[in-house]
């Protein structure tokens, strides 16, 4: 009987941890949406489709942006790329959160 209980506990623990990780990711994307709205939306539009010609040519939900690693997206935000200037004041958890939000824009 004890062996049966132990064999059931491991899958339950793994499942609980997976649910917690998914919940944390959703919370990060939600927090990232607020950062995005304040720092990114003016150029990239609410849905990531772009308000400016260069942003429209490379939508955040498109394959080219979504194929980038999280580290590459963070670098674009903090260092800029092409005509995009670095975004001031976004670092640490806020940077992680905005990248999580950008991932939700995938088409």
Tell me the CATH number at 81.
1.10.760.10
pLDDT of residue 28 exceeding 60, the answer is yes
The pTM score is 0.75
Share of the chain above pLDDT 90, in %: 73
pLDDT band at 97, cuts 50/70/90? very high
How many angstroms separate the CA atoms of 81 and 91, rounded? Answer: 17
Looking at the structure of the chain, the number of domains it has is 1
Q: Which domain holds residue 12?
A: 2-104
pLDDT of residue 4: 62
Which residues lie closer than 8 Å to 31 by C-beta, 6 or more apart? 93, 94, 97
pLDDT of residue 76 exceeding 60, the answer is yes
pLDDT of residue 80 exceeding 60, the answer is yes
């Amino acid at each position: 009987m004890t062996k049966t209980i132990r064999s059931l506990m491991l899958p339950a623990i793994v499942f609980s941890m997976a649910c917690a990780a998914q919940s944390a990711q959703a919370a990060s994307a939600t927090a990232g949406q607020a950062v995005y709205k304040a720092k990114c939306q003016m150029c990239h539009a609410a849905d990531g489709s772009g308000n400016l010609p260069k942003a429209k040519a490379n939508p955040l939900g498109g394959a080219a942006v979504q194929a980038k690693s999280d580290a590459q997206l963070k670098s674009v935000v903090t260092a800029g790329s092409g005509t995009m200037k670095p975004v001031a004041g976004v670092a640490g958890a806020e940077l992680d959160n905005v990248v999580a939000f950008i991932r939700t824009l995938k088409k």
